[in-house]
Chains A and B, each alone.
Chain A
Amino acid sequence: MARALGHFRICDFTGQLAGAGATKWLSAFGAEVIRIEDPVRQGMWDVLRPMPPFVDERRGVDFGGGFNNHNTDKRGITLNLRTERGKELLAEIVKRSDVVSENFAYGVLDRWGFGYERLKQLRPDIIYVSNCGFGHTGPYKMYKTWGPIVQALSGITFTSGLPEHEPAGWGYSYMDHTGGYYMAIAILLALVHRNRTGEGQWVDMACTESGATLNGPAQLDYSVNGRTLRREGSPNSNRNEWPAMAPHGIYPARGDDEWVAISVRDDADWRRFGGVVKEDWTNAQRFAERAARLTAQDEIDALLGAWSCERGKFEVERDLQAAGVPAAAVQKPQERIDRDPETARRGLWPTVHHSKMGDVRVDGMPVHLSKTSWAIDTGGPCLGEHTDSVLAELLDLSQPELDELRAEGVI
């Protein structure tokens, strides 16, 4: 199958998921992504390199399960940018790249002498995409962030929770995923623009702002109606205010920590729901209309929970879906990865070969493109795994030259 992005080369400084996730998309569609890493600090500007989970008892910068997941099909080289020769080699790579991508803290690339102005000198149509927590301007530009802090500032920790409890937030770095999606979109948009105009450019992302684009209706309710989401009884994010539905929530099912999600969208859903549940309260006239059910949500939730907790979550899903009512078991990782035909059929968990870890399954892509679909085959690069091959192919360095660079600590 043709590779949609096979003609692009990315000089990639990204780390963690917020940056590496963006370039994983590009490599899955054929772009040549070259990770530049620091030999002195063992590539540790990506802190996930040595982090769990691990496939076996081996540890170290080549064994991080998350790093492998986020860096499939990329090539990895080491360059010591404290050395003049290291900087010269990086300059040569930049000249041969379409994009430079990074998600360092504010100002890091500039301090190495590779700020945007320099990148432009090296290649006038270069695309430079930076992604940090608070952006490159403003009073907080020096402040530190990671996924959960980005989520906290942007409002999306607050919008996940139950009333009378502290925010539940996200049980993972949702904004690392989503920051990566926005960063991929930014790179692709800049390539589209360059194709049409010949111009490169700098695209700057503040991940907190990217996160704040994900709560639009709440922000408009505030700016137009003056209504705040911080008020008594709010938020209850298992319910649905926009549009208002009732009952709508996550209900207990039979078993330990088993749950099922049910959405009754409208009065027609309510009648179908009643046909399955068949309790006195589902036939009660006082619950027949949405407005009345919205007022009685606490009462209905208690009745529904008492019904659902005696039934299996997949059984509830099956019976309600058969009647046309939205319902889904809260699936655990094993259930959705190993037992769900809807993910298996799409090949959502491809097995990659990693040079040290062996064969490992990773996240695939949730899309199919009929002519240029994605392919994920190779695990994340070990530290410096492709240094020789990249420098030989791209910069025509000979083996004696590579040996000398290695002896000098440049690579």
Chain B
Amino acid sequence: MSISNDAGPSALAGIRVIELSHERSCFAAKLLADMGADVITVEPPAGSPTRHYEPFVGDVPDSDRSLYWWHYNTSKRGMTLDLESERGRELFLELAASADFLIEAEDPGRMEALGLDYPDLARQKPDLIVASITPFGRDTEKPDAQSTDLTVLAGGGPVWSCGYDDHSLPPVRGGGNQGYQTACHYAVMSLLTALLYRDLSGEGQHIDVSMHAAANVTTEMASYCWLVKESTVQRQTGRHAMDTATMPVQRRCADGRYVTTGMPPRTPKENTGLHRWLVDLGLEDQLPEAIFLQRGAEKAAIDFSLIGEDDETTAIVAAGREALALIADHVSAYEFFIGAQEIGLAIGIIYAPEEMIDDPHFRQRGFACEIEHPELGRTVTYPGAPYRFEKSPWRISRRAPRLGEHDGEILAELGIDAEGLAALRRDGVIV
């Protein structure tokens, strides 16, 4: 059975979320919006700074053409409010009173200075659940510290583990805002946990997410090798940072692209398959050691712990590695990936993000989705669902809002008529 993404109401239908628009929180609010929550992202009248982040449609900078904004604000409604004005803050409190969740990522102290911090919000709506996402948490000793995704991942641990065998090269920060996104995953886990508690108790609460802490507990062995036995992992090209050196796993194929390989063939089926693949490609003659693959095909599964001790085992494993290396020199990365997996070897092609979208498996599963952009008169392809719900689907319900797009609609829901709207616009409270 397969699960499509178009049945029934979404899991968070009926949940209202107010997000104070910020680069640190936009992904958390997107995750909720794509699950059906009514998310209103609140921007200053000049627009969120992230509207001016590259890349732009056609490379033309414009507050409604940022693809960064488009991606991180799907399924949301957008409105502007000047929180520096008293009227803006009043309206924000009214909005918050209508909400189930409020998400903000301001530097510590700013919400308090505005009179919009958790105690202010909870006083008028005790069952509101508020999440604050900050670089070091609300209880930090350095509330003024400045951060970017890079500094979060450098100070928080991930960077130490990533890079190359050659340590004269700097360690590497993985791309794509992963420091922000990890903190946002934790924010969403926390909000949903708090919602389940509210279902039971009727109580709201305040969630304090530290991005630095989130990075710290997202480093796998780097942390627990230290915690368990005070040993320090060292970075290695394309594979786990370890406290002992391991064999390289990435291989460049004939088309210049790379694959990541794992263990060489171990079972008779794998050795048989690899030998046949070599023969099919006409490469058997180039590898005298291929004879050992046939030997491997006749044996029970190989015990890797005997490498270096048992001569035959050592020769079979070495022949497996040599055969894979030889094949990689003669086929494309995609052919290598498919060929290896078909004989049961866990091997992956290293795709660029755009190549994954075009892969036949993900196309057949319908991963990417087409979203209407009425202002362009066409649809745009977006990355799709991280999970498939049988009954309460993930769905991008609309493209990201244009600046001030829903000001009138949302203020009308708060009971403000056309005249009031015009006054707010005139006073610069909204755009």
Stretch from A82-90, A274-282, A335-343, A381-389 forming part of the interface with B: A335-343
B residues 138-185 touching A (CB-CB < 8 Å)? 139-142, 144-164, 167, 169-176, 178, 181-183, 185
B176 neighbours in A (Cβ, 8 Å): 156, 159, 214-218
Q: With A149-B348, A328-B154 as given contacts, are A181 and B237 in contact (CB-CB < 8 Å)?
A: no
Cβ–Cβ contact A169 & B226, under 8 A = no
Neighbouring A residues of B345 by C-beta, 8 Å: 144
Q: 1/0 per position for B181-206, CB-CB distance to A under 8 A? A: 11101111110111111011101011
Partner of A4, one of B148, B193, B349, B368: B193
Q: Give the residues in chain B near A215, CB-CB below 8 Å.
A: 175-176, 353, 383
Q: Are B348 and A153 within 8 A (Cβ)?
A: yes
- How many residues on B have C-beta within 8 angstroms of the other chain's C-beta atoms? 157
Contacting pair B14 A139 (CB below 8 A): no
Comparing A365-373, A390-398, A402-410, the segment that makes contact with chain B is: A365-373
> B160 contacts A204, CB within 8 Å?
no
**B347 sits at the interface (CB 8 A):** yes
* Contact in complex: B11, A189 (CB < 8 Å): yes
Known contacts A196-B14, A348-B216; A261 and B173 CB within 8 A of each other: yes
Q: Is B218 an interface residue (CB 8 A)?
A: yes
Q: Identify which of A32-40, A73-81, A233-241 touches chain B.
A: A233-241
Instruction: Kindly provide the distance from the CB of B149 to the nearest chain A CB, expressed in whole angstroms.
Output: 8
Distance in angstroms between the alpha carbons of A69 and B268 in the assembled complex: 35
Known A135-B365, A223-B357; contact A366-B14, beta-carbon cutoff 8 A: no
Contact assessment for B203 and A205 in the assembled complex, using a CB-CB cutoff below 8 Å = no
- B225 contacts chain A at the CB level, 8 A cutoff: yes
- The complex places the Cα of A144 from the Cα of B338 at a distance, in Å, of 11
Contact among B53, B199, B223 with A195 in the assembled complex (CB-CB below 8 Å): B199
B214 is an interface residue with CB less than 8 A from chain A: yes
Q: Is B382 an interface residue (CB 8 A)?
A: yes
Given A2-B197, A222-B353, A138 and B227 contact (CB-CB distance below 8 Å):
no
The docked-state distance in angstroms from the alpha carbon of A321 to that of B141 is 13
A173 (CB) vs chain B CBs: closest residue: B220
Set of chain B residues within 8 Å of A156, measured between Cβ atoms: 174-176, 178, 353
A333 touches B383 (CB 8 A): no
Once the chains are docked, how many angstroms separate the CA of A250 from the CA of B168? Answer: 12
Instruction: Contact check, B361 vs A139: say whether CB atoms are below 8 A apart.
Output: yes
A177 interface neighbour in B55, B137, B218, Cβ under 8 Å: B218
**Once bound together, how far apart are the Cα atoms of A240 and B357, in whole Å?**
23
Beyond A25-B189, A263-B151, A366-B209, is A171–B262 a contact (Cβ under 8 Å)? no
- Which B residue sits closest to A349, measured CB to CB? B227
Known: A165-B169, A166-B258, A326-B148. A221 touches B229 (CB 8 A): no
Please give, as numbers and ranges, the residues of chain B lying within 8 Å of A240 by CB-CB distance: 148-150
Determine which residue in A55, A217, A349 has the highest number of CB atoms from chain B within 10 A of its CB, and name it: A217
Interface positions, chain A 306-343, Cβ under 8 Å from B, are: 317, 321, 324-334, 336-338, 341-343
Known contacts A157-B238, A159-B176, A261-B154; A171/B161 CB under 8 A: yes
Contact status of A157 and B237, CB under 8 A, knowing A138-B364, A371-B197:
no
Q: How far is the CA of A158 from the CA of B354 in the complex (A)?
A: 11
Chain A residue nearest to B210 in the complex (CB): A366
- Counting CB contacts under 8 A, is B239 at the interface? yes
A186 CB → nearest B CB, Å: 5
Chain A residues in 8 Å Cβ range of B155? 261, 317, 328-331, 336
Query: In residues 1-56 of chain A, which contact B (Cβ within 8 Å)?
Result: 2, 4-5, 7-8, 17, 25, 29, 53-55
Give bound CA distance, A192 to B197, whole Å.
Answer: 10
Q: Tally of A-B residue pairs with Cβ under 8 A?
A: 534
Pair B70/A220 contact, Cβ less than 8 Å:
yes
A166–B237 touching, CB < 8 Å? yes
Nearest B residue to A115, CB-CB: B1
Cβ–Cβ contact B353 & A241, under 8 A? no
Tell me which residues across on chain B come within 8 A of A260, comparing CB atoms. Answer: 154
For residues 179 through 203 of chain A, which have their beta carbon under 8 Å from a beta carbon of chain B?
181-186, 188-193, 195-197, 199, 201-203
B residues near A208, Cβ cutoff 8 Å: 356, 362
Chain B residues within an 8 Å CB radius of A360:
227-228
Would you list which residues of chain A between 218 and 264 have a CB under 8 Å from chain B? 218-225, 227-230, 235, 237-238, 240-245, 248-252, 257, 259-263
Q: CB of B281 within 8 A of chain A? A: no
- A55: which B residues are within 8 A, CB to CB? 228-229
Cβ–Cβ < 8 Å partners of A65 in chain B: 224-225, 227-229
Q: Which of A53, A178, A369 is in CB contact (< 8 Å) with B228? A: A53
- If A192-B11, A265-B148, A321-B145 touch, whether A201 touches B391 (CB-CB below 8 Å) is yes
Closest A residue by C-beta to B208? A368
Interface of A is mostly: mixed
Instruction: Check: B277 CB closer than 8 A to any chain A CB.
Output: no
Q: Which residue of A lies closest to B163 (CB)?
A: A168
A336: contacting residue among B53, B156, B355, B388, CB under 8 A: B156
Which residue in chain A gives the minimum CB-CB distance to B187?
A367
Decide if A210 touches B222 in the complex (CB within 8 Å): no
- In the complex the two chains form, is B236's CB within 8 Å of A171's CB? yes
The residue in chain A whose Cβ has the minimal distance to the Cβ of B350 is A152
Docked complex Cα distance between A185 and B353 (Å): 24
Which residue in chain B gives the minimum CB-CB distance to A135? B365
Q: CB-nearest residue of chain B relative to A371? A: B205
The reply to whether A209 and B151 contact each other, CB–CB distance below 8 Å, is no
B345 (CB) vs chain A CBs: closest residue: A144
Q: Are A348 and B213 in contact (CB under 8 A)?
A: yes
Output the least CB separation between B135 and chain A (Å).
9
For residue B166, which residue of chain A has the nearest CB? A165
Is residue B52 contacting chain A, with contact meaning CB distance below 8 A?
yes
CB <8 Å contact, B173 and A237? yes
Q: Is A170 located at the chain interface by the 8 A CB criterion?
A: yes
B383 touches A212 (CB 8 A): yes
Which of the residues B192, B211, B258 comes within 8 Å of A188, measured between beta carbons? B192
Residues from chain B with a CB closer than 8 A to the CB of A138 are 361-362, 364-365
Least distance between A317 CB and chain B CB atoms (Å): 8
Residue B58 at the A interface, CB < 8 A?
yes
Please name all residues of chain B whose beta carbon is closer than 8 Å to the beta carbon of A173 when the two chains form the complex: 220, 240
B72 interface residue, CB < 8 Å from A? Answer: yes
Q: Report A82-121 CB contacts with B as 1/0, cut-off 8 Å.
A: 0000000000000000000000000000000000100000
Are A181 and B199 also in contact (CB < 8 A) when A69-B224, A215-B176, A250-B171 are? no
State which residues 120-138 of A face B: CB under 8 Å.
Answer: 134-138
- Report chain B residues within 8 Å CB of A166: 237-238, 250, 252, 258
Given contacts A172-B241, A225-B55, A336-B156, whether A167 and B350 have CB atoms under 8 Å apart is yes
Question: Which one of B140, B170, B355 has the greatest number of beta carbons of chain A within 10 Å?
Answer: B170
B124 within 8 A of A: no
The residues of A that contact B188 with a CB separation of less than 8 Å are 185
> Does A372 contact B194, Cβ atoms closer than 8 Å?
yes
* Alpha-carbon distance A140/B194, docked complex (angstroms): 37
Query: Can you name 16 extra interface pairs (CB under 8 A) apart from A159-B176, A209-B384?
Result: A155-B351, A155-B352, A159-B175, A160-B162, A170-B174, A172-B222, A189-B12, A192-B196, A203-B390, A220-B71, A222-B354, A259-B171, A332-B232, A365-B217, A366-B213, A366-B216
A-B contacts, 28 of them at CB < 8 A, read A53-B224, A166-B250, A167-B238, A171-B241, A174-B220, A181-B182, A185-B188, A185-B189, A190-B392, A195-B196, A201-B392, A204-B390, A205-B387, A206-B365, A215-B383, A225-B55, A243-B54, A249-B150, A261-B150, A265-B148, A328-B155, A330-B159, A342-B141, A343-B213, A362-B224, A363-B216, A363-B224, A363-B227
In the A-B complex, the 3 residue pairs with the closest CB atoms:
A171-B161, A366-B213, A149-B348
